[in-house]
Amino acid sequence: MGASHSMEVSQFCLEGRFIDFVIKDGYKLKGLMLGTHEGESYIKLAKHLRAAFDLRLPPGTWLQVAGYKEYDIKKDKVTLKAERVMAARSEMATVQSIAAPQEPPSIDNAKVKPAKTKATILVCQKSDCMKRGGKAVCQALEAALSDRGLEDQVTIKGTGCMKNCKAGPNLVMPDKTRHSRIQATQVPALMDKHFGDKSLETQPENLKEAAIFNAKFC
């Protein structure tokens, strides 16, 4: 009874620019930061959205987020939890998929060529990993992608701490394989192991989603 009186729940709907994802333990998606006319807001994502969200969504994309707002009266704290995320009207023409699988293309759209998409290599950017050679690893990854002609198919994204500082540098490959104590000299062999001579046309479908993350963080 006390809990019901100390918590108020209502619906909310916000529209703003996507700033960045909030990642826990270096790879667990928990929520996103949204910039609105009232300032920046942290919004938790419901479990079904975390599983389907495309981590390559470009910062600055206009989003419309709807869900539930919980206000803890005792703590004077507001928590926003998203149940639905979609592109705002101004972005409908450029962002086709954010957090839900799309229907197969209709016959009318059969001649439209799909946009090229990128897989993402996550690299810890925290100081411990950087001190252990993380910067050189990033540079080696970029060189290896260029040497293999994969720079248009794979991008590198910096992340927060992966909670394995003493074993840095840490990185996560597109297939979710995690590697620790990686040195720049090991990068070419690592790339051959994960990509070989194959292009991403032969990679699993879950690597081919709509939004593309183009920025380089190293």
To the nearest 10 degrees (0 to 180), the angle between helices 135-147 and 187-194 is 50
In this prediction, residue 42 carries a pLDDT of: 92
In whole angstroms, give the CA distance from residue 121 to residue 172. Answer: 6
In this prediction, residue 199 carries a pLDDT of: 42
Q: Could you tell me which residues are beta bridge partners of residue 43?
A: 32, 80
- The CATH class of the 119-195 domain is alpha beta
Q: Which residues of 159-181 are buried (b: 16+ CB within 10 A; e: fewer)?
A: bbbbebeeebbbbbbbeeeebee
In whole angstroms, give the CA distance from residue 171 to residue 122. Answer: 5
Residues 184 and 140: beta-carbon distance below 8 Å: yes
- Domain 8-87: CATH superfamily is Nucleic acid-binding proteins (2.40.50.140)
In this prediction, residue 198 carries a pLDDT of: 47
The predicted model scores a pTM of: 0.41
Q: Are strands 28-36 and 39-45 parallel, antiparallel or unpaired?
A: antiparallel
In this prediction, residue 203 carries a pLDDT of: 42
Identify the CA nearest to 26 among candidates 218, 216, 170, 185.
170
Q: Can you list the residues of the chain whose pLDDT is less than 70?
A: 1-5, 89-117, 197-218
In this prediction, residue 197 carries a pLDDT of: 52
Extents of the domains making up the chain? 8-87, 119-195
Q: Give the position of tokens 């004077």.
A: 76
In this prediction, residue 116 carries a pLDDT of: 54
In this prediction, residue 5 carries a pLDDT of: 64
The reply to whether 119-195 shares the fold of 8-87 is no
In this prediction, residue 92 carries a pLDDT of: 46
In this prediction, residue 110 carries a pLDDT of: 45
